[in-house]
Amino acid sequence: MANTIVLKRRIASIRNMRQITKAMQLVSASKLRRAQDYAARSRAYRELAYELLMRLSAIREVEQHALFVKRPVKRRLYIIVTSNSGLAGAYNANVLKQLTKLITADREAHISSSVIAVGTKGAQFVRRLQDVELKAVYPAFGDRPETRDVQPILASIVDSYTKAEVDDVRILYTFSKSSISQEVRDLSILPAEKLEAADDEAEAKPLPDMATFEPDVETVIAQIATRLIEAQVWQAILEGLASEHSMRMVAMKNATDNANELIEDYTLEYNTARQAAITQELAEITGGAEALNG
């Protein structure tokens, strides 16, 4: 009888857990639609901003601007977009795995690495790495981020590069191709060297030699360079948010399905044990009655 009691408690525990995972699945599904909408609205602007940034990098005058100066890479800065919480499948693990691979390559090339972490999961991981500086930590921006949220990150990037504290800046984030397909992307922020097409579009053509700038090239570059970099960081955060909800929804659906299977298995085992116990009791009663009659 003790066996049936244990099984009954186990079934009840799994049912309670199933309610939680099902609720998290529905919440993530609701947030996913909004996050995908949010990311899609600014995706075209981000692609155009990135293309323009790459085109500007080909202009001779740009080489004198602090944000476009190319130096031998001895120090590299990574911005990683992760989450504050787990239960999102391999969302954080994929980004951190790519970061580890890049840092290993940097060590072999004698390049020092530093990290700005968006999300506490990324910060917790980087703190355990040797010889990697964690420059700053910014908690994930929630379900409704605003452009002003990225201003501190942007200021850190611009300040580090203009002061020559780093020679290369890259951002790692997760891009959601669909609800079941995500990939980690490694995007170059500074210096802008070439267009790395994010969605298999053709490479951008350089600006014409006779392109006209008003009032002049230096003023245009000074005013828009930071804004164009901000667009890259902002879009990466939006894409990461959509991917997080997508992967959490899938993970919680899988957890709910597994709970259903466990409940079925344990229910079958419980019924079998209960039937065996009833059969045993009937056998004992029948045996006792026969003994009294005898």
Identify the structural domains of the chain with CATH numbers, from first to last. Answer: 2-23+250-293 (1.10.287.80), 43-242 (3.40.1380.10)
Contact 129, 112 (CB under 8 A): no
Q: How far apart are CA 17 and CA 171, in angstroms?
A: 36
Residues in the chain, overall count: 294
Listed in sequence order, the DSSP H helices in the chain are 2-56, 91-108, 120-126, 151-162, 217-293
* Distance (Å, whole) CA 94 – CA 243: 12
Residue in this structure with the two tokens 């085992």, named with its chain if needed: 269
Compute and round to an integer the Cα radius of gyration of the chain.
28
Bridge partners, residue 187, by sequence: 171
What pLDDT tens digit does each residue of the chain (294 aa) get? 558 888 889 999 999 999 999 998 888 888 888 888 777 777 777 777 777 777 766 666 666 677 777 889 899 999 999 988 888 888 899 999 999 999 999 999 999 999 999 988 999 999 998 888 999 898 877 777 777 888 888 888 888 888 888 989 999 999 887 777 788 998 888 886 544 444 444 454 555 555 666 666 667 776 777 887 888 888 888 888 888 888 889 899 999 999 999 999 999 988 888 888 788 777 777 777 777 776
Residue 226 to residue 264: CA distance in whole angstroms: 57
- CA 48 to chain CA centroid, nearest Å: 23
User: Which residues have CB under 8 Å from 70's CB, separation 6+?
Assistant: 63, 191, 193
Decide if 253 contacts 179 (C-beta within 8 A).
no
For residue 114, what are the contacts with CB-CB under 8 A and spacing of at least 6?
75, 76, 77, 78, 132, 133, 134, 135, 166
